[in-house]
Chains A and B, each alone.
Chain A
């Protein structure tokens, strides 16, 4: 094997002549920096994958026994980090959708000219260079804030944790596996971090990293998390509930309130649910949020009150917040009970 070889690519197609042509063509075009492997069936391809370090698999759709779309699903399960492309002679919208749904990174129609194969070569080259976006994708359920921070730091990721509850909108910035900035309410730095990590309830979301406005956290993430746990324990001994910004205005003689987060829902404007902790009927909440956003646009326009922030529904014992944040719709319901001090 030449030292110049950088990428191993496996083509899977039931046409051996096509495989030979592709191998000769792409090894020549890459000046032998691509090592081309071939397989005429899914089974043979899996054998190659078990033996060789493959960077990219390119699969035909129409193959006997296991077709390319099914094979994409198998690859997604067995080799989730592998880059995958579909190359087919019969491209249809249905096949494209099915391929992408089964984990294909690229869906390409076979070329009918040398120029076309040059374009495909360039696309495979791009795919080989492409680095997937780091971070979570999907729905987080019953995962603690500290767990997510720990995972992000251990993986040396860069991301932003956005945290919501009835009193606080906070952010924790993680850059290359270190917590570098935290903000929540009027607080910044360690005070904000400890407060956010002490919240008794709320929702959070992992957002794509952007540079923080400033850096307010120093020290290792392990120490910061340990200190946060200590502060939380200390506070728990004296205070049984989170005191929000409003509560700070109360006098010492005022009765304390305790809060409980009953419902949380985050969805897109199109109504796709991203996170929910709702006991029942998620769809009615989604529809409600969409109607709130529409209504707010009308009200904001006629009165020129600027950008809509939230709708607060004050209940006899609690509050419902309907928010629009960063293109997402958020529904939070909190119960409060007043007790004597």
Chain B
């Protein structure tokens, strides 16, 4: 896991409403951060793994998918996978600051690697 991604992940954990977040490469162990005991790092690792192996949306090319958001009454789970295989996942509380900035946060992740390259 490169240092830039680790630093980026650490900085995002402090946003109010963030439960946990993680990044994982296609062949690399996930790096998980947790701000809430309801979702410890090992659980977040399972969640991001589930997101990585989820079935594709029928009729949609995988490359056309920017991100997916599972919306629940009390929170959201966001997952985004880049073309290089890296996946970002975050679990946030509903109506929180973290929920409000999920889109720019995901855009940041998608742009981060592009800037590196």
Residue A233 interfacial (CB < 8 Å):
no
| Minimal Cβ-Cβ distance residue in A for B80 | A314
24 CB contacts below 8 A, A to B, read A281-B58, A285-B58, A285-B59, A299-B47, A299-B50, A302-B39, A302-B43, A303-B43, A303-B77, A303-B91, A304-B38, A305-B73, A305-B75, A305-B76, A306-B73, A306-B74, A312-B68, A313-B67, A314-B66, A314-B68, A315-B60, A315-B66, A316-B66, A333-B60
| The 3 A-B residue pairs with the shortest CB-CB distance in the complex, in nearest-first order | A306-B73, A305-B72, A284-B58
Mark each residue of chain A from 289 to 333: 1 if its CB lies under 8 Å from any CB of chain B, else 0: 001000110111011111111111111110010000000000001
In the bound complex, residues from chain B placing their C-beta under 8 Å from that of A320 are 57, 60
Please list the residues of chain B having a beta carbon within 8 angstroms of any beta carbon in chain A: 19, 38-39, 43, 46-47, 50, 54-55, 57-60, 64-77, 91
Q: How far, in whole Å, are A182 and B4 apart by their CA atoms in the complex? A: 51
Total A residues in contact with B, Cβ cutoff 8 Å:
31
| Minimal Cβ-Cβ distance residue in B for A286 | B58
Q: How far, in whole Å, are A320 and B56 apart by their CA atoms in the complex? A: 12
Q: A291-B55, A308-B70, A320-B57 are in contact. List 5 more A-B contacts (CB 8 A).
A: A285-B59, A288-B57, A302-B47, A303-B19, A307-B72
- What is the distance, in angstroms, from A25's C-beta to the closest C-beta of chain B? 59
Q: Are A316 and B64 in contact (CB under 8 A)?
A: yes
Taking a contact as CB atoms closer than 8 A, the residue among A284, A300, A315 that contacts B65 in the complex is: A315
Determine which residue in A263, A281, A285, A314 has the highest number of CB atoms from chain B within 10 A of its CB, and name it: A314
Q: Are A288 and B58 in contact (CB under 8 A)?
A: yes
Residue A115 interfacial (CB < 8 Å):
no
Q: Are A306 and B55 in contact (CB under 8 A)?
A: no
Q: How far, in whole Å, are A314 and B46 apart by their CA atoms in the complex? A: 22
